[in-house]
Structure 1
């Protein structure tokens, strides 16, 4: 296990160095190391590395880890490998909020991010509130998540129908495909804070979540408050996903595919591969973002590449699976 972790960690470091080097203004590994060590005499190199590429790379790594962490948590709580972080409606709610801000609130970054986050949390809160009335809480969360997601998606389509087809509609569609082109140290700090809180919270719940993997009845017998742990873990994971989406737009597939890659790589099915899932989520998203900003004359929205890469990786997993 240590060799596997060391290999993936080394690969991630290599990809970070490549991401710092590649771009419209390319740098060699030596020049990047000189900037990091503080021995470079070129001020432009400092600007490129610390002012442009490093905050973007840090944001990508945090978002990849956060989405993978949330996806793994969802799959453990629902005991379903096909569950993704948007099952409770957070993606649909955030998308509706962003579109609403673009059409009715002027489309500023603060307005888009704030409304996206607020609507995402509202939709998920409504899902959890309605699901509490059902006997099967897990099934209730999934079904009510479908209902609230559909309502939010209908609202999004209504806003798009009434939006200005020359300015507002393209902006909405572009946001829905996600991107890190506006990365800043402020965004890194915001997501880093929430990510740290999420890791600590889920770490404190790790043994109770592991017991819940045996089933609700077994967890009750062993003294676990299943309802509190389930809603607590889902709330933390959803809050993390909502803040990520509100800042960078929709980033598809990472929360679904990273836990599968971790299970396939570690040959384990429990919570012990959560760290590996976060590292692989960062690695996949970093590769996708580097390709998005370097392979084409114009930068591609990130979800175009993550959807393609996710589908290919999932196909490989299915071909290698015996079940």
Structure 2
């Protein structure tokens, strides 16, 4: 009895230490993100001094006297600020969605793209570029087909009884393969001089097309998805239990799964509609977060969102500043993500828990 009491006290102390560690890590990550955000506003082909960049940003809130030129104003407010904000938001959303899906499916190799949403949104964007070059039309088509792909995945998974999550993954693979084939068809019929290069570059992911005008729809929708997942993070831990155990705790497991899938799908579809397909973020960042704060989703989801925002903002800075021509984001995320998974496999031996 004394040993059991001692074990219980030890576990309680450990959980408390992990919670405190998660809070400290989150505060440190937010500070790092603020520093990187200011650096993102300053660096580029046209360099802006940090103090001047800070004053320009502060002028949005306070009535400061303008001591800078129109060029600095345009570079900071029209070009770099929207891009940095969307990079952070999309990175946070994809990472939170990836962590949630890994908990939902009980699989460490699951990412937000597993249900075919990226392929569907990619097809919608490619079709939009083929029909019209209007950015709002392209984003609308990508969003519509991204959501349609997940609906198709859900309907296919219900055709036959069986393990619901297993059927959902198989249906996602089928739906993704179908839309990938349709993307190839769009490339095949596209004009090789103008349309095809635009489609290929867009599908590889880039923040270059983001402006203050076309980010108005994306911000509230991605925020809605992130906030939903953060509010559900207390219950996502229960998804690792069996259905009977979850029901005994008073949790409607079906509604919880639908809510998690819906929020992660919304984030992914909107992200792809804005900046194309960005791989590895929702796969790599949750594992980094687990190495820092553990498997408890109460700390894991906020940490994943913060690290994801930091990670994609850093990647975007490298993409636009490393060379004269901008590097597609998916190239950089894959170059960094693949070696990390090799390291993780060597460290864990496949025991991802």
Shorter-chain TM-score bucket reads: over 0.9
Equivalent positions of 1:72-91 (< 5 A) are: 72-91=99-118
Q: Which residue of 2 aligns with 1:159?
A: 186
Q: Indicate yes or no: 2:41 matched with 1:41.
A: no
Off by >4 Å, runs of 4+ in structure 1: none
* SS class of match (2:216): helix
Instruction: Pick one of 13, 21, 24 that aligns with 1:3.
Output: 24
Cα deviation for residue 19 of structure 1 reads 0.8
Cα deviation for residue 210 of structure 1 reads 2.2
Q: Which residue of 1 aligns with 2:86?
A: 59
Q: Which residue of 2 aligns with 1:193?
A: 220
In the alignment, the residues of structure 1 paired with residue 148 and residue 309 of structure 2 have an alpha-carbon distance, to the nearest angstrom, of 28
Cα deviation for residue 286 of structure 1 reads 0.5
Contact 1:59 1:187 in 2 (8 A): no
Q: Indicate yes or no: 2:323 matched with 1:302.
A: no
* SS class of match (1:224): coil
Judged with a 3 Å threshold, the aligned counterparts in structure 2 of structure 1 residues 268 and 77 are, in CA distance, closer, same or farther, namely closer
Cα deviation for residue 30 of structure 1 reads 2.3
* SS class of match (2:217): helix
Equivalent positions of 1:161-310 (< 5 A) are: 161-310=188-337
Cα deviation for residue 269 of structure 1 reads 4.5
Cα deviation for residue 130 of structure 1 reads 1.8
* 1:259-317 deviation digits (Å, cap 9, x = unpaired): 11110111335342100000111111011100111110111111111111222333333
In the alignment, the residues of structure 2 paired with residue 3 and residue 204 of structure 1 have an alpha-carbon distance, to the nearest angstrom, of 20
In the alignment, the residues of structure 2 paired with residue 148 and residue 283 of structure 1 have an alpha-carbon distance, to the nearest angstrom, of 31
TM-score when normalising by structure 1 = 0.94
| Farther off after superposition, 38-47 or 9-18 | 38-47
* 1:199-240 deviation digits (Å, cap 9, x = unpaired): 333344333322222222211222322222112210121011
Return the index of the structure with the highest Cα Rg: 2
* SS class of match (1:300): coil
- Count how many residue pairs are aligned between Structure 1 and Structure 2: 322
Contact 1:15 1:287 in 2 (8 A): yes
Please provide the CA RMSD for this pair. Answer: 1.8
In the alignment, the residues of structure 2 paired with residue 17 and residue 166 of structure 1 have an alpha-carbon distance, to the nearest angstrom, of 38
Provide structure 2 residue ranges, at least 5 long, that are not aligned to the other structure. Answer: 1-20
Q: Which residue of 2 aligns with 1:109?
A: 135
TM-score when normalising by structure 2 = 0.86
Provide structure 1 residue ranges, at least 5 long, that are not aligned to the other structure. Answer: none
Q: Which residue of 2 aligns with 1:141?
A: 168
